[in-house]
Amino acid sequence: MLNKKVLLIIGLMLAVTSFFLFDLGQYLTLDYIKLQKEAFADFYASNKIMTLAIYMTLYIGVTALSLPGAAILTLAGGALFGVVTGVILISFASTIGATLAFLISRFVLRDTLENKYRDRIKKINDGIEKEGKFYLFALRLVPVFPFFLINILMGLTAMPVLAFFWVSQLGMLPGTIAFVYAGTQLSEIESIGDILSLGMITAFAVLGLLPIVTSKVLDALRAKRVYQPYLKNKPSAYDYNMVVIGGGAAGLVTSYIASALKAKVALVEKHKMGGDCLNTGCVPSKAIIRSAKFAAENKNSKDFGFKDASYQFDFKDTMKRVNSIVKAIEPHDSMERYTKLGVECFQDNAEIIDPWHVKIGDKVVSTKNIVLGTGAEPFVPPIKGIDKVDYHTSDTLWDLKKQPKHLVILGGGPIGCEMAQSFARLDVKVTQVEMASRIMGREDTEVSEYIQNKMRSDGVDILLSHKVVEIKKGKNKADKIVVCEKEDGKTIEVSCDTIFVAIGRVARLKGFGLESLNIELTERRTINADPFMRTNYPNIYVCGDATGPYQFTHMAAHQAWYASVNALLSPFKSFKVDYSVVPWATFTDPEVARVGLNEAEAKSSGIAYEVTTYGLDDLDRAITDSAAEGFVKVITPPNSDKILGVTIVGAHAGDLIAEFVLAIKHGLGLNKILGTIHIYPTWAESAKYAAGNWKKAHKPEWALDILEKFHRWRRKG
């Protein structure tokens, strides 16, 4: 088998090399075809069968070897044979050639790639088995990828040869007709005036409109397929333009925009308005972080010029403050406010009956569009014994009334780190367990180490490379024992009275009829959304944590704009969601904020880069605030001030990152930041000084040498 492969590869290489070596491509140009038009026509008139055979063989050979010239041959076929004969001939020749390329790819490459990437290939083949024919048809109708590339890539999959043949022939037929017809018009060009003939204009108009028309046809076919079981229930009129399920950040912004655009919109929330962010996430966590920072500042009163400072602390009072802040912000997200804005709000369970009907409580309403903003919920891993003990997640942590004696936090991500530091500052013994070799794994190594050292100085005991394998009950009723396995296989036991699981969050998928509609999910078990925020049902949209890929409140609001506007303006206008500039922050002390690439991502992606840093210990305002720690780290291309990404570690990092977010979004480089006036003394000056450090590293030494000589000359008079 190996010898046959080698012989085939040698034969292919010789054929392709000969094509380029002998410049055979010169015969597959429009100029050559037009020059030989009359000779071809005469030969065809005398030798029809032979001409058809030679042409078809040539076409099959070009496409099978993935050589350039198929488009010119198609136009030539139209010019020589006319529409009917040309379409029939080229349709079969192109499909046979494509199938041969498909088989060559499969024979030469498939086994090798399957052995090397078995798991990935299996996932692709699973998808091909399910939707392969449809995707191939779409690629043939709207050739996003080059013709030859589709042949080669499909050969690596498990798609049956016969299916590849007939789907390709059917999918390529509209394009073949358009190109052949254009070829019949090209053959009639004798002067510049002929270019403006009605036939030519029509031919190129067909070619130009083909991708748009076929895209619409594909959308219609896709919609018809998913809607087929429910078409009998489709109403002729609707109660609402939009029903939004979920009253968190995604749902609130979606319904707000829909109402502002004068649509009739219903918002359904089963539990509390404001969702996780207000009730169990961003708001309460930032409230307790601030209380903990106050405690830390008191403990470090000498840094602020006080010999001593004391405070009376009661954990219940701190938790009351947290809950009071949630209550203070509640009106911003309340049903009363959104009702005044024109949104019909329901505090009830929502169940999707079909693509156009939603059951709200006991009432079924019809709607033209549905938007899913159902959010996410804490992920609890299947640790042995965890179901036998009491534990907290971000949903229940705020119900604590009694101060924990020893809190064990599972997870070294942003939520785990924020809470570990805060509770330690509130005089709780804290042990944080992380399975990886460092906390905050998405950040650069020096960022993780910086925060890690800071947290340890606040009293957090961080156990890295420790995997929790079991949780047991202790001797006392309130005690738990967390069993951790180290890298060497040895185990340690950590006794505690409170456990906080902060491993991550998963999309909320159950409880509102998602399963009955077979709405597609991603591998990450989130609701699959296209670039327009649509699910596999074109009138059902999704935004926020339910779809990801970024589980941030500000991202939910960002996606909500696209979901709302696209739902209301479709099919007249749609906007693709923009993920090009996504900032985020972890609110430890100091804070960590990021936008764009960090150094680890640039390195792993093979992107050439330079690093510019500015230490915040040099910033005047940081020194006056006794917070002179951290740094600004900027990633740029070599010898360019274009900003690829920024990481800030320091006080107010979440606010300071905004200038860089704006700069990246609108293509402003470090020179523009350096040339912008920043108020003194402020934290914002750190951006200017970082830009200044980049400028110093790229100063034109040759120009400075000339200036030095110029000034020396002027001094001498």
Work out the angle at residue 105's Cα, subtended by the Cα atoms of residues 104 and 106, and round it to the nearest 5 degrees: 90
Q: Is the pLDDT of residue 156 over 90?
A: no
* Predicted confidence (pLDDT) at residue 129 exceeds the cutoff of 70: no
Report CA-CA distances (Å) from 464 to 383, 393, 461, 589.
18, 21, 10, 20
Q: What is the end-to-end Cα distance of the chain in Å, rounded?
A: 87
Phi first, then psi: what are they for 501, rounded to 5°? -90, 115
Per CATH, 386-502 and 590-701 having the same topology is answered no
687 pLDDT above the threshold of 80: yes
52 CB neighbour count, 10 Å cutoff: 16
DSSP character string of 101-129: HHHHHIIIIIHHHHHHSHHHHHHHHHHHH
Is there a contact between 69 and 25 (Cβ–Cβ < 8 Å)? Answer: yes
Q: What is the pLDDT of residue 77?
A: 76
Q: What's the rounded mean pLDDT across residues 196-223?
A: 59
Local structure of 429: helix, strand or coil: strand
For residue 695, the model assigns a pLDDT of: 95
pLDDT of residue 174 exceeding 70, the answer is: yes
Flag whether pLDDT at 92 surpasses 70: yes
Eight-state DSSP code of residue 370: E
Question: Quick check: 79 and 186 in contact, CB under 8 A?
Answer: yes
What is the DSSP secondary structure assignment for residue 313, as one 8-state letter? -
Cα–Cα separations (whole angstroms), residue 481 to 149, 178, 416, 493, 495: 57, 72, 19, 6, 4
Report pLDDT for 24: 56
Q: What is the pLDDT of residues 670-686, one digit of tens each?
A: 999 999 999 999 999 99
What mean pLDDT do residues 411-424 have?
97
Q: Which residue shows structure tokens 């509770």?
A: 423
Q: How much is the average pLDDT of 139-157?
A: 71
25 to 66, 182, 486: CA distances (angstroms): 13, 21, 64
612: phi > 0 → left, psi -120 to 50 → alpha, else beta; which? beta
Q: What is the pLDDT of residue 1?
A: 45
Question: Which tokens belong to 263?
Answer: 């649509």
Higher pLDDT, 177 or 638: 638
pLDDT at 225: 81
Of 601 and 140, the one with more pLDDT:
601
Confidence of residue 193 (pLDDT cuts 50, 70, 90): very low
Sign of CA dihedral 150, 154, 159, 160: positive
What is the chain's mean pLDDT, rounded? 86
CA–CA dist 433, 464 (Å, integer): 6
Better-predicted residue by pLDDT, 413 or 43: 413
pLDDT single digits (tens) 476-520: 878 999 999 999 999 999 999 999 999 999 999 998 988 888 899
Residue 20 has pLDDT above 70, yes or no: no
User: Do residues 258 and 265 touch, judged by C-beta distance below 8 A?
Assistant: yes
Domain 590-701 CATH superfamily: FAD/NAD-linked reductase, C-terminal dimerisation domain (3.30.390.30)
Of 82-96, 164-178, 498-512, 640-654, the one with minimum mean pLDDT is: 164-178
User: What's the rounded mean pLDDT across residues 636-652?
Assistant: 96
Q: What is the CATH number of domain 240-377+507-569?
A: 3.50.50.60
- Candidates 113, 158, 107, 110; CA nearest to 3 is 107
Specify which of 187-201, 328-342, 467-481 reaches the highest per-range mean pLDDT.
Answer: 328-342
pLDDT value at 436 more than 70: yes
Decide if pLDDT at 297 tops 80: yes
What is the model's pLDDT at position 370? 97
Instruction: Name the more confident of 508 and 171.
Output: 508
Domain ranges for the chain, please list them.
2-223, 240-377+507-569, 386-502, 590-701
Please answer whether residues 179 and 78 qualify as being in contact, where contact means their C-beta atoms are separated by less than 8 angstroms. yes
- Residue 209's pLDDT is 56
Confidence of residue 210 (pLDDT cuts 50, 70, 90): low
Does 89 have pLDDT greater than 90?
A: no
Exposed/middle/buried for residue 13 (C-beta within 10 Å: 0-12, 13-18, 19+): exposed
CB 244 within 8 A of CB 338: no
DSSP-derived pairing of the beta strands 363-372 and 240-245: parallel
Q: Contact, 6 vs 14, CB < 8 A?
A: no
More confident residue, 89 or 616: 616
Q: CA quadruple 620, 622, 625, 629: dihedral positive or negative?
A: negative
- Dist CA 233 CA 241 (whole Å): 17
Specify the pLDDT at position 120.
52
pLDDT, position 122: 57
Integer Rg of the chain from CA? 33
Q: Is the pLDDT of residue 51 over 80?
A: no
* SS3 readout for 567-615: HHHCCCCCCCCCCCCCEEEECCCCEEEEEECCHHHHHHCCCCCEEEEEE
- Which is higher by pLDDT, 10 or 505? 505
Q: Which residue(s) pair with 592 in the sheet?
A: 586, 649
C-alpha to C-alpha distance for 336 and 333, rounded to whole angstroms? 8
Architecture of the 386-502 domain: 3-Layer(bba) Sandwich (3.50)
In this predicted structure, the answer to whether residue 591 has a pLDDT above a threshold of 90 is yes
In terms of pLDDT, which residue wins out, 138 or 704? 704
Continuous segment of H or E residues that includes residue 1: none
| Per-residue confidence (pLDDT) for residue 336, from 0 to 100 | 95
**pLDDT > 70: what percent of the chain?**
84
pLDDT category at 104 given cuts 50, 70, 90 is: confident
pLDDT of 94 higher than 60? yes
The pTM of this model reads: 0.76
pLDDT at position 368, please?
Answer: 96
Helix (H, G, I), strand (E, B) or coil at 634: strand
**pLDDT tens track for 319-374:** 999 999 999 999 999 999 999 999 999 999 999 999 999 999 999 999 999 999 99
Strand arrangement, sheet containing 645-650? 583-586, 591-596, 645-650, 631-636, 610-615
Question: For the chain, what is the largest distance between any 2 Cα atoms, rounded to a whole number of angstroms?
Answer: 110
Q: Is the pLDDT of residue 8 over 80?
A: no
Whether the Cβ atoms of residue 355 and residue 317 lie closer than 8 Å to each other: no
Average pLDDT over residues 240-260: 96
